[in-house]
């Protein structure tokens, strides 16, 4: 199973060390999401990561840093994912400037994913197992609903939110391309084992 890791939303002195260890264990995609940070702070963190891993980093916002440091990709803010003409031109410019750059975004509901007609390299579907979900992914009807919408999407879809080890069978049955880990990693003492469990699924 493909695994994406999102950086912690909390300040942590051990975050960089843990990220580097997970890179060594095979983590292929790190989403650098620091909504309260300024560009200079995000840039400082990128510079703290060895250049050999820059091709595995996707930056949320601060798009210019993806080009400056030759990062893997950019994750669009909600206002930049729509089909408005200026957003189309932005995405086109990104791809023209660097064709290998990945462009991703997050959808916060099944309906918004279903209605999306824009092609991204992959998308995240948040709160899949959260309290805000309007379906039960634990029963067959919920799994089938997810599966139908995922199959109908032209994008690779990753499950994000409320991810736990016991939900791996449901995630696979629904047809997700992989999972997005965040809290499960940062709140766990042995994050390497958690990562390896999902990566091997």
Tell me if 165 sits within 8 A of 146, measured CB to CB: no
pLDDT tens sequence across 120-136: 999 999 988 776 555 55
Q: Which three-class secondary structure state does DSSP give residue 110?
A: helix
The residues with which 58 forms a beta bridge, in sequence order, are: 31, 73
The Cα–Cα gap between 185 and 129 comes to 16
pLDDT tens sequence across 74-84: 999 988 887 78
Query: What are the φ and ψ backbone dihedral angles of 126, each rounded to 5 degrees?
Result: -85, 160
Q: What is the pTM of this model?
A: 0.92
Whole-number average pLDDT of the chain: 91
Locate all alpha helices (DSSP H) within the chain, ordered by sequence: 15-24, 39-48, 64-68, 85-97, 110-115, 140-152, 168-173, 183-186, 191-199
pLDDT tens sequence across 63-113: 999 999 999 999 999 888 877 888 899 999 999 999 999 999 999 988 999
Structural domains for the chain? 2-199 (3.20.20.70)
Cβ atoms < 10 Å from Cβ of 156: 15
The Cα–Cα gap between 76 and 15 comes to 23
Helix H or strand E segment including 184? helix 183-186
Tell me if 26 sits within 8 A of 56, measured CB to CB: no
């Amino acid at each position: 199973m493909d695994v994406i890791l999102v950086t912690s939303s909390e300040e942590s002195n051990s975050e960089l060390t843990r990220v580097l260890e997970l890179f060594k264990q095979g983590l292929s995609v790190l989403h650098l999401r620091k909504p309260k940070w300024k560009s200079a702070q995000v840039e400082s963190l990128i510079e703290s990561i060895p250049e050999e891993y820059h091709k595995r980093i996707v930056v949320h916002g601060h798009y210019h840093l993806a080009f400056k440091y030759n990062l893997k990709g950019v994750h669009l803010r909600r206002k930049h994912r729509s089909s408005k003409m200026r957003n189309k031109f932005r995405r086109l410019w990104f791809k023209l400037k660097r064709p290998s750059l990945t462009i991703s975004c997050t959808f916060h509901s099944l309906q918004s994913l279903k209605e999306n007609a824009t092609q991204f390299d992959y998308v995240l579907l948040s709160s899949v197992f959260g309290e805000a979900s309007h379906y039960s992914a634990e029963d067959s009807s919920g799994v089938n609903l997810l599966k139908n919408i995922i199959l109908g999407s032209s994008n690779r879809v990753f499950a994000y939110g409320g991810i736990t080890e016991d939900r791996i069978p449901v995630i696979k049955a629904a047809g997700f391309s992989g999972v997005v880990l965040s809290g499960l990693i940062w709140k766990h003492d042995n994050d390497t084992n958690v990562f390896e469990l999902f990566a091997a699924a």
